[in-house]
Amino acid sequence: MARIFPIFSGSRGNCTYVGSGNGGLLIDSGAGAKRIIESLKQNDISPEEIKAILITHEHHDHVSGLKALINALNIPVYASEQTLAALINSDKIAKSTPLNVITNTVEIHDILVKRFETSHDCAGSSGYVFSLRDNTKIAVCTDLGSVTQTVRDALLGCNVVMLESNHDINLLQNGPYPLQLKQRIASDSGHLSNTCCARELPALVNSGATQFILAHLSQDNNNPNIAHSCATATLLDNKMYENRDYMLYIASQNYNKMIIC
């Protein structure tokens, strides 16, 4: 049975588990290795079940614990060529680490992984779709300023979609951040707003999505109630009802639970 576990999600660190009873993969390592391993064990996932780690991009909140986690679990790393180069150049991974470039699709321990490009302010940023043996398709897609057609095509047909819902536009515009940072977040290579996220959900339901995870919520420019309301209101406008047509979860910085797909 397929499972997804958003271990940590937000500006202070990101790490997600995708897998089944036969093992699984991690996406990003933006927290300490000890905290990640302890969280896995609390959800009955042993470290030996982790077969590899995939990196979306090189920003600190996605890779701060990477080197220590690789040493602890002795697992290979997968990412785009640009991301792997950035990790090596910034000493986030040792040159002796087994590195694997994903250009399109690759099979990792019975899980077919498809990489797709995302629009973020670094070279080679990635989202991933995971196809498991039970035919469940899970998408993990955060840190993108806009939903391009490439992203949309990748998400359509997935059963479970973890999608960024980073900020409320009004909170961002009227908040304490410097103007330059506000402009960066709101740009097409920044982070996805609640409104932009919600806009994509009805088409995903129509294509087979039954579970959504709103992820990477800003601590300062968003809150779970606003993100939830924006998503459900847009879906309701399309006559799609929570707990009937879909399930909706909010990934937090801590204390998330395993989701059975």
pTM to 2 decimals? 0.97
Eight-state DSSP code of residue 21: T
- pLDDT at residue 207, rounded to an integer: 98
User: Which residue from 26, 24, 20 is spatially nearest to 2, judged by alpha carbons?
Assistant: 20
Residue entry with tokens 């991009």: 57
State how far the Cα of 214 lies from the Cα of 198, in Å rounded to an integer.
Answer: 9
- pLDDT at residue 22, rounded to an integer: 85
- Model confidence at 2, pLDDT cuts 50, 70, 90, reads very high
* pLDDT tens figures, 23-49: 999 999 999 999 999 999 999 999 999
Beta sheet of 99-101, edge-to-edge order: 99-101, 77-79, 50-54, 23-27, 15-20, 3-8, 259-260
* pLDDT tens figures, 210-255: 999 999 999 999 999 999 999 999 999 999 999 999 999 999 988 7
* pLDDT tens figures, 139-177: 999 999 999 999 999 999 999 999 999 999 999 999 999
